[in-house]
Structure 1
């Protein structure tokens, strides 16, 4: 009987591994918010790390320089201008000092953080956006247009704002009959996709109208993210409460291109997408693991790479964009994992190629052989000069 040898799929990211930073490089005594909202509760860019924290009588989030580590003093200033808990925070992709926050007080505020971080509590936003009748919980900056911010609230309404003027430029009030779970812009900002409590994925394009299709059967919250090639990746639950990951082609949402079932945990899977590597990281609220996948053009399209596992569950996570990672250490992504009272950086790293190591070893062998030959010739020359030959 003959056995066929398995073919190993070629990929630059097949050996990506996760490494938690040492304790001295973590942030300690951070009172991470206990709000029951299925958001990441953190946002990070190459300058700053922001974390939603507990605050008496209102809502606040901590902003510290990304290089900061060690204990965070309880008197450390926060951004504390909301009248109720903060649910979501997002840094502007066009200005590393601008951050937006959405709150249970039904407002969205935009803040300008000074270089070096806060020296005093910040209560005055540069603009306050008032358009939601219930709590605002979702933020999404436009990927290419400066000062354009999308917000969604528990009033099932989507608003698009010009934060430079504070003007509401577009409102979508009738498309969603129930709570909106997530919103994602496509790569050029010409369309958005949403998932809603009615279990439907919607692709909203002002030029072509709205396409809607039911995508996950479970009743637990879903998430959706646009990929750079226009496809959409969703996370949700099956009718049997198994967590699922699915890939969809916007030209036909009737059937998924790929679907994978993971486990029966009840934590919402937050997808973080890296368009440079076409990798998706799934970070489950309350999980002790981060799974990562590569999306390709070949069936089965979504390829499981590996998972990072630790002893402590995560309350949320911030995902650092490519501009902030340390390429000298072959780092391709970095998470800031939220514990109950700690923030722990986790680096995703691609090992240097084995081929390069083999070439270096071969070159070293050649150099050693040449050195031995030179030494032999020097001994021969010395014998000639001494008249031994």
Structure 2
């Protein structure tokens, strides 16, 4: 596969290198949940890893510099009552992380500046609305406090995290949603579904603007939006061979499609919009393959493969602003083993010590381009870019303060009882609500009779005055 003449590319000699043992994170009990997420999320300050937890779900948050053996008593984020399935750091706040769980909730957590000193059980916000487990959480790339979630109820919610409201509900998938991806300015999402169809959705219009079959195989597929609006997918053929493909959304046609191998692990794609490189990490594989996407045939160009002896349980991908530009580092992965997390550094060999402008075009910074309300009203903006020439200096994050106004607005459930938005009711709470409703009715009747009595007294006073 991928045969042909050698082509010119500055990324042709990219090579990967695992760090030394003392720079790994050791003695971590990585989650054994059978779910095809990456189990790891990283940003320039922290690495978060979903871990085994008795009686609920938990994940560990470690400052990047805290390497070596991790104590068994190290604090965790452990507020979920079921296993955690997916985590993602907010792109606009390095201390804010979202988690989705088997307990059907999404929780937003505020991590202290210096990391955890004690386990956290109380989230900053709990988002409730899904009726089955939540397997995908994904922050909006340019709007503050906008979060997408997808559950096994086949529904996508888009939340205003600041008000804890599910503003948009997308119920257009007949089966399980395998993956979701925002486009560059967050105006569209693409989804991969168990019905083998790829969908491009305008979430604010709640419309499917393109839908087509991507891979014939029954095993899970993945899809990511590229910077130019095309979509890159990984999946399986009818003969259960792993495939990658590139799609033109407007024509719904395949630009390129390649067979990979016959392994059965799901290929997780990680895309770098600055360099147009795609890295493929298979669950259970020992390798990371990387490709360059260009406008010339065959469009998807194989570059190289990084291999180790140990298979990977999951993988984290560092945002560009967290890389060491002085060493020509163009990507960094955090590979999960059974009991440890191993950083892997990808570099482009250069002799010069000067800043390499061609490797580091301006990249998406942490400042959001829009507020949540602006995006929900229909505005779109590209990410606000920053230069990495002098290295990335973390900005001070403002404290996340959710607005509770939405919780004061009541809604009716099926039985007509008033309930709080996003709150699921059990039998005890329903009976209590009925008591409260009855008491309110009694008070209203009392107020009405008192109003009538006041009116009569005022009439009598008016007659006496005359």
TM-score (ref. length: structure 1): 0.88
1:7-46 to structure 2, matched below 5 A, reads: 7-46=5-44
Partner residue, 1:303: 301
Q: What secondary structure, in the 3-state scheme, does the structure 2 residue paired with 1:193 have?
A: strand
Tell me the equivalent position of 1:328. 326
2:429 matched to which residue of 1? Answer: none
Partners of 2:130 and 2:339 in 1: CA distance = 32
| 2:378 paired residue number | none
* Corresponding position: 1:154 with 2:152: yes
- In the alignment, is the contact (CA less than 8 A) between 2:189 and 2:201 conserved in 1? yes
3-state SS of 1:256 partner: strand
Q: 1 CA distance for matches of 2:189 and 2:25?
A: 35
Q: Can you list the C-alpha shifts for 1:11-30, whole angstroms capped at 9, x where unaligned? A: 11111000000101001000
Structure 1 residue 7, shift from structure 2 partner? 4.2
Which of 181, 184, 204 is 1:184 aligned to? 181
Q: What is the rounded CA distance, in whole Å, between the counterparts of 2:133 and 2:6 in structure 1?
A: 49
| 1:139-218 to 2 correspondences below 5 Å | 139-173=137-171, 175-205=172-202, 206-207=204-205, 209-210=207-208, 211-218=210-217
Q: Secondary structure at the match of 1:97?
A: strand
Counting only pairs closer than 5 Å after superposition, residues 192-271 of structure 1 correspond to structure 2 as 192-205=189-202, 206-207=204-205, 209-210=207-208, 211-253=210-252, 255-271=253-269
Residues in 2 aligned to 1:294 and 1:200: alpha-carbon distance in whole angstroms: 25
2:363 is matched with none
Structure 2 CA distance for aligned equivalents of residues 9 and 208 of structure 1: 43
Quick one: distance in 2 between partners of 1:34 and 1:63? 18
Q: Distance in 1 between matches of 2:106 and 2:55?
A: 18
Using the TM superposition, give the Cα deviation of residue 207 of structure 1 relative to its aligned residue in structure 2, in angstroms: 4.6
Shift of residue 171, structure 1, vs aligned partner: 0.3
**Structure 1 counterpart of 2:98:** 100
Q: Distance in 2 between matches of 1:68 and 1:250?
A: 43
* Contiguous gaps of at least 5 residues in structure 2: 355-466
Q: Separation in 1 of the partners of 2:126 and 2:251?
A: 39
Does residue 109 of structure 1 match 2:131? Answer: no
Q: CA deviation at 1:116?
A: 1.1
Q: How many corresponding residue pairs?
A: 348
Cα displacement string for residues 131-156 of structure 1 (whole angstroms, at most 9, x for unaligned residues): 10000010110000000000000000
| Runs of 5+ unmatched residues, structure 1 | 1-5, 357-389
- Give runs of ≥4 in structure 1 deviating > 4 Å: none
How far apart are 1:107 and its partner, in Å? Answer: 0.1
Deviation at 1:8, TM superposition (A): 2.5
CA RMSD of aligned residues (A): 1.2
Structure 1 118/139 Cα, relative in aligned 2: closer, same or farther at 3 Å? same
The offset of 1:208, in angstroms, is 8.6
Partner Cα distance (1:318, 1:68) in 2: 16
Q: Are 2:181 and 2:190, in contact at CA under 8 Å, matched by a contact in 1?
A: yes
* Structure 2 SS opposite 1:328: helix
Question: TM-score scaled to structure 2, two decimals?
Answer: 0.74
- Distance across 2 between alignment mates of 1:341 and 1:60: 16
